[in-house]
Amino acid sequence: MITLTLSELARAVGGEVLLAPGDTLDTVVSGAVDTDSRLIGPGSIFVAKPGEQTDGHLFVDAAAAAGAVVAIVEHPVESSVASAASAAAEPRSVLTQIVVRDAVEALADLAREVVARVRSGGDLRIVGITGSNGKTTTKNLLARILEPEGETVSPKASFNNEVGAPLTMLRVTEATRYLVSEFGASAPGEIARLAGLVEPDVGVVLMVGMAHAGGFGGIEATLAAKSELVRALHRGGLAVLNADDARVASMAPIASERDAAVRWFGRGGGVDGRGVDVRADDVEVSASGTTCVVTADGVSATLRLRVLGEHHVMNALAAIATATALGVSLADCIERLEAVEIAERWRMQPLGSERVRIINDAYNASPDSMAAALRTLAQITGPGERTVAVLGAMSELGEYAEDEHDRVGLLAVRLGIQRIVVVGAGARRMFLEAVAQGSWDGEAIYFETADEAYDYLMTELRDGDRVLVKSSNSAGLRFLGDRLGESFS
């Protein structure tokens, strides 16, 4: 984080300062900000956030012991260290506390202030990314392109919510050239709130699909929510839009309201034939990755993407469209993307060996990403090899859950997946649909737990199998994928 005095910090979050001995309002702080006391280091600022499982106020002492110099709290916390010393001396706090009404809102306010200061005094460019699928992969690909150009801050893992996004923003310094923010949401208004903290110079919208549709209340409500990023653009900025998705394409007039230009990416000419600025042709998929010809503003080059899955071509196009708009050459984009082996752990991550290849894609799942992963499995499996899909539940679909799980079971059968292993009660509809479609002679099997599925797979898998493990994070199958990967490494 940038350097602030305690007075400036308190003013940014609208809090009351309770000074520890030795501190004054002019004391300077510049350490990292975190809500997890286990990640606190010397000079850090600890935000004591109440949570569903525990309360950050219980860990103020732990944060202080780890080196925190300030705690942002919702009520004063008397240190147990100070209490123990009070028999012989006056009680005291071991670190300065800033008391606020709401710790999460204070975190957002601090992020807004820090980014605004850096932006006003330097050359910071801010990119925001949203979409029903592909945010984390696109964020990682774009960061890899931009990092050689200058100091780049991007989210760890999927830090894209009301806590993770501000924590990412607070990592900027006066030397930061690019801030890449990922904006996720499970309800209307969340993207507007997060993107509104920084008003991105560039807003990237990947797709509008069924992910989180249960929370939004349907696909049109999802469209409205994803549009919030374009509405939050810095005036005169740039919207990078998927020309192949009609719902994303419909956001172009919103960009005009912000006096923002539109840059299109896609696999074809766009849903209305308008053409695209960055496109991919001659796409070929294999077990080692995807090859295509990328054309950006009339310049063409071959991209050999090692990240598995044809669907990642669109994520690469979005990253290229953004980076070239920021001044990076297409040749540099291609060179840096070709060095990326996996987008993120548990996202189309190759494990195992050539004998039994495991693809662990169980960090997240939606109907769109589930379909893309199954198609990839079918595409990369060659003659004499066998397709095995280990599938778990897709979360946050609400009233659409049963129908969407049915569709996945149907698709797996139509793609000719030879073994369909369904795990967990939330995914049982996939199994029932697969059986209804003809996979009743051992091709489809159901297990209540991942341990049961593991025991079965250890006896069932054989040389030449290509195994996809796919589910939402909450289903926990990513750990099953790791176990299988280790067993067949």
What CATH number is attached to the domain comprising 14? 3.40.1390.10
Q: What is the DSSP letter of 402?
A: H
Is residue 108 a part of any domain in this protein? no
Q: Let me know whether 162 and 279 are in one domain.
A: yes
Q: Is 275 helix (H, G, I), strand (E, B) or coil?
A: coil
- Binding-site positions for ATP read 131-137
**Structural domain count of the chain:** 3
Whether residue 90 is predicted with pLDDT greater than 50 in this model: the reply is no
> Which residues, 6 or more positions from 133, have their beta carbon under 8 angstroms from its beta carbon?
206, 207, 209, 211, 311, 366, 368, 369, 372
What pLDDT does residue 93 have?
59
Note the pLDDT tens digit of each residue in 207-236. Answer: 998 765 666 667 888 899 999 999 999 999
Q: Let me know whether 425 and 327 are in one domain.
A: no
* Residue 14 belongs to domain spanning: 4-101
What pLDDT does residue 275 have?
81
- Asked whether 285 and 305 are in contact (CB, 8 A), the reply is no
Task: Look at residues 72, 101, 130 and tell me which one is the last residue of a structural domain.
Answer: 101
Domain containing residue 477: CATH number: 3.90.190.20
Task: Look at residues 337, 371, 391 and tell me which one is the last residue of a structural domain.
Answer: 337
Structure token digits, residue 245: 């998705």
Average pLDDT over residues 427-455: 93
> Which residues, 6 or more positions from 236, have their beta carbon under 8 angstroms from its beta carbon?
258, 259, 260
Report the distance separating Cα 33 and Cα 479, nearest Å: 30
Note the pLDDT tens digit of each residue in 99-141. Answer: 999 999 999 999 999 999 999 988 999 999 999 899 999 999 9
Note the pLDDT tens digit of each residue in 284-315. Answer: 999 889 999 999 999 999 999 999 999 999 99
Q: How many CB atoms lie within 10 A of CB 422?
A: 30
Q: Let me know whether 296 and 364 are in one domain.
A: no
Q: Let me know whether 320 and 353 are in one domain.
A: no
Q: Let me know whether 332 and 363 are in one domain.
A: no
pTM of the model: 0.88
- Binding-site positions read 131-137
Q: Let me know whether 254 and 331 are in one domain.
A: yes
Domain containing residue 319: CATH number: 3.40.1190.10
Average pLDDT taken over every residue of the chain: 92
Q: Please tell me the total number of residues recorded for the chain in this structure.
A: 489
Is residue 116 a part of any domain in this protein? no
Phi, psi at 141, each rounded to 5°: -65, -45
Is residue 344 a part of any domain in this protein? no
Q: Let me know whether 279 and 397 are in one domain.
A: no
Q: Let me know whether 127 and 211 are in one domain.
A: yes
Q: Let me know whether 276 and 133 are in one domain.
A: yes
Is residue 112 a part of any domain in this protein? no
- Asked whether 464 and 380 are in contact (CB, 8 A), the reply is no
Question: In which band, very low, low, confident or very high, does the pLDDT at 346 lie, cut at 50, 70 and 90?
Answer: confident
Is residue 309 a part of any domain in this protein? yes
What pLDDT does residue 187 have?
80
Note the pLDDT tens digit of each residue in 175-205. Answer: 999 999 999 887 889 999 999 999 999 999 9
Q: Let me know whether 295 and 213 are in one domain.
A: yes
Q: Let me know whether 479 and 368 are in one domain.
A: yes
Note the pLDDT tens digit of each residue in 234-279. Answer: 999 999 999 999 999 999 999 999 999 999 999 987 776 678 999 9
Is residue 472 a part of any domain in this protein? yes
